[in-house]
């Protein structure tokens, strides 16, 4: 496997690699003084928050300093597990007290999807930078309001699109931008899994907004955009519902096509009802990249027309992500493609996919 140093050297000539370079370089630098770290509070201490907190233990430029929870019994565990001061835990009702805590720079919203809108806007009003999990909202209107609130407050809004910080994905994008794949001819993207507990919030429309598409299909939407470097101009979609009882409120399995201005079509699918479904295949007239697995926590694996890919998998994705975002917020590094505006683009595509399904698979122009 290549060392991180090899990786840095290989990427060194590419302007595209600069944000990643800075993120990687940060991991080799001396730890910065605490006041130069991005001090982050997680909102909603569930399973993904725990993963982010674990990954942040290895961050050099970002640090977990607190949490917001509706479950007071989590405070002791979180405080001891992640070394966080108990005074920096808040309830949802007390959320606004964060405003008076000068030791918090940013909040990271890891709540169920339909709660993102409210907590992003409340955080922005307090003047805190915001990182929000995907999907950024449950509607286009909500996403627009979140962007407007952050703009008005002069704070950053980033969506938790961790793949943009992940080395295999970064290499795919670099190769496409450098023309190494030639003219992109086709994208095939699929991601899904068999969901368990029928009572979980992910299967309730009021909390999740939608099903597999909003949860994991969104990775394929985002991937089709970064694999082509284009924005789709039309969508067509269909849903297969093999378990109408379990998936009464949300979508189960969806296949869709995204048409791009160059004429390229991305063929995509997502599901909540079976496993072993995770791949991104990008083929151009000079070469290809296949990542599989392509979106999970890793390790990501891949091959190109030149052979097997071998990149650094030593860090959790969220470690790269949080150091990278800290660099943007604290050091003015250029925003990667994970801004609120990028999240909004994906929400518009999700909206078009649902519209197409409702219209019996009709082509929806964007
Ligand atoms: P969990 O159910 O594990 O955690 C959600 C947490 O939100 C709960 O533990 C709870 O924390 C809090 N919460 C507040 N109100 C409610 C409510 N009414 N119902 C349920 N939970 C509530 O979900 P995940 O951590 O898996 O997902 C959270 C977000 O993260 C989602 O938007 C999801 O899409 C995203 N995600 C992103 C991933 C990625 O790779 N980028 C991977 C997994 C999830 P408390 O007890 O502290 O109040």
Pocket test of ligand 1: the residue of 44, 134, 210 to mutate, having most ligand atoms within 8 Å of its CB, is: 44
Q: What pLDDT sits at residue 33? A: 54
The separation between CA 182 and the C-alpha centre of its own chain, rounded to angstroms, equals: 27
Average pLDDT over residues 200-207: 98
With left for phi above 0 and alpha for psi between -120 and 50, is residue 52 left, alpha or beta? alpha
Average pLDDT over residues 305-326: 98
Average pLDDT over residues 231-245: 98
**Residue whose CA is at the smallest distance from ligand 1 atom 17:** 112
Write out pLDDT tens, residues 242-278.
Answer: 999 999 999 999 999 999 999 999 999 999 999 999 9
Q: What pLDDT sits at residue 26? A: 36
Residue 35: inside a domain, yes or no? yes
Give the percent of the chain with pLDDT over 70.
90
Return phi, psi of residue 346, to 5°: -70, -35
CB neighbours of 83 closer than 8 A, spacing ≥ 6?
A: none
Q: What pLDDT sits at residue 2? A: 41
**Residue whose CA is at the smallest distance from ligand 1 atom 30:** 110
Whether residue 14 has pLDDT greater than 90:
no
Q: Which of 290, 286, 289, 226 shows the shortest CA–CA distance to 258?
A: 226
Which residues have any ligand 1 atom within 6 Å of their CB?
Answer: 44-49, 69-71, 74, 110-113, 133-134, 160, 162, 201, 207, 215
Pocket test of ligand 1: the residue of 56, 95, 112 to mutate, having most ligand atoms within 8 Å of its CB, is: 112
Is 86:353 a contact under the CB 8 Å cutoff?
no
Domain of 271, in residue numbers: 163-312+338-365
Q: What pLDDT sits at residue 36? A: 87
Q: Of 98, 128, 160, which residue is a domain's last?
A: 160
Q: What pLDDT sits at residue 35? A: 57
Q: Measure Cα distances from 23 to 26, 59, 65 in Å.
A: 5, 10, 21
**CA–CA–CA angle 9, 14, 20 (5° rounding):** 70
Q: What is the mean pLDDT of the chain?
A: 92
Q: Do 188 and 237 fall into the same domain?
A: yes
Report CA(201)–ligand 1 centroid distance (Å).
Answer: 9
| DSSP type of residue 114 | G
Q: Do 350 and 241 fall into the same domain?
A: yes
pLDDT bracket for residue 332 (50, 70, 90): very high
Residue 139: inside a domain, yes or no? yes
Q: Of 160, 179, 201, which residue is a domain's last?
A: 160
Q: What pLDDT sits at residue 211? A: 98
Query: Active-site residues: which are they?
Result: 134, 219
Q: What pLDDT sits at residue 34? A: 54
Write out pLDDT tens, residues 28-50.
Answer: 334 455 558 999 999 999 999 99
Residue 133: inside a domain, yes or no? yes
Q: Do 123 and 87 fall into the same domain?
A: yes
Q: What pLDDT sits at residue 27? A: 35
Count: domains in the chain: 2
| DSSP type of residue 205 | H
Residue 292: inside a domain, yes or no? yes
Q: Do 175 and 46 fall into the same domain?
A: no
Q: Do 118 and 227 fall into the same domain?
A: no
CB neighbours of 264 closer than 8 A, spacing ≥ 6?
A: 184, 185, 186, 187, 228, 230
Whether residue 21 has pLDDT greater than 60:
no
Is 181:288 a contact under the CB 8 Å cutoff?
yes
| DSSP type of residue 44 | S
Half-sphere exposure of 250 (CA within 13 A, CB side): 25
Which H helix or E strand runs over 134? Answer: none
Q: Do 209 and 148 fall into the same domain?
A: no
Report CA(43)–ligand 1 centroid distance (Å).
Answer: 9
CA distance 227 to 169: 9
CA Rg, the chain, in Å? 20
Write out pLDDT tens, residues 185-202.
Answer: 999 999 999 999 999 999
Q: Do 167 and 155 fall into the same domain?
A: no
**Nearest-atom index, ligand 1, CA of 113:** 32
Residue 320: inside a domain, yes or no? no
Q: What pLDDT sits at residue 109? A: 99
Report CA(109)–ligand 1 centroid distance (Å).
Answer: 9
**Nearest-atom index, ligand 1, CA of 215:** 34
The separation between CA 335 and the C-alpha centre of its own chain, rounded to angstroms, equals: 14
We report the CATH number of the domain holding residue 185 as 3.30.360.10
Q: What pLDDT sits at residue 227? A: 98
Burial class (CB in 10 A: 0-12, 13-18, 19+), 292: middle
Report CA(131)–ligand 1 centroid distance (Å).
Answer: 14
pLDDT bracket for residue 20 (50, 70, 90): very low
Whether residue 324 has pLDDT greater than 50:
yes
We report the CATH number of the domain holding residue 92 as 3.40.50.720
Residue 330: inside a domain, yes or no? no
CA distance 103 to 287: 49
pLDDT bracket for residue 298 (50, 70, 90): confident
């Amino acid at each position: 496997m290549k060392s991180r140093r090899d990786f840095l050297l290989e990427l060194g000539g590419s302007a595209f690699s600069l944000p990643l370079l800075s993120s990687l370089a940060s991991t080799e630098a001396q730890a910065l003084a605490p006041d130069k770290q991005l001090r982050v509070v997680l909102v909603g201490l569930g399973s993904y928050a725990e993963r982010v907190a674990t990954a942040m233990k290895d961050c050099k430029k970002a640090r977990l300093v607190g949490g917001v929870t509706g479950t007071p019994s989590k405070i002791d565990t979180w405080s001891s597990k992640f070394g966080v001061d108990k005074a920096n835990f808040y309830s949802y009702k007390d959320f606004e007290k964060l405003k008076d805590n000068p030791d918090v720079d940013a909040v990271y919203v890891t709540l169920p999807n339909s709660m993102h809108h409210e907590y992003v806007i409340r955080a922005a009003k307090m003047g805190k930078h915001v990182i929000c999990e995907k999907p950024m909202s449950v509607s286009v209107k909500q996403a627009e309001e979140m962007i407007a609130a952050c703009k008005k407050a002069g704070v950053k809004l980033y969506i938790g699109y961790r793949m943009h910080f992940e080395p295999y994905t970064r290499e795919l994008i670099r190769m496409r931008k450098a023309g190494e794949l030639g003219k992109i001819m086709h994208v095939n993207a699929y991601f899904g899994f068999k969901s368990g507990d029928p009572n979980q919030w992910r299967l309730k429309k009021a909390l999740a907004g939608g099903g597999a598409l909003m949860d994991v299909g969104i990775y394929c939407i985002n991937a089709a955009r970064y694999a082509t470097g284009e924005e789709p101009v039309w969508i067509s979609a269909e849903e297969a519902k093999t378990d109408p009882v379990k998936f009464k409120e949300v979508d189960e399995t969806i296949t869709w096509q995204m048409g791009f201005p160059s004429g390229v079509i991305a063929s995509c699918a997502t599901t909540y009802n079976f496993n072993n479904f995770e791949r991104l295949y990008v083929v151009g007239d000079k070469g290809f990249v296949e990542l599989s697995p392509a979106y999970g926590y890793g390790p990501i694996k891949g091959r190109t027309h030149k052979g097997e890919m071998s990149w650094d998998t030593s860090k959790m994705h969220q470690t790269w992500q949080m150091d990278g975002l800290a660099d943007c917020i604290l050091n003015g590094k250029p925003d990667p493609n994970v801004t609120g505006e990028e999240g909004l683009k994906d929400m518009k595509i999700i909206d078009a996919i649902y519209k197409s399904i409702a219209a019996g698979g009709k082509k929806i122009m964007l």
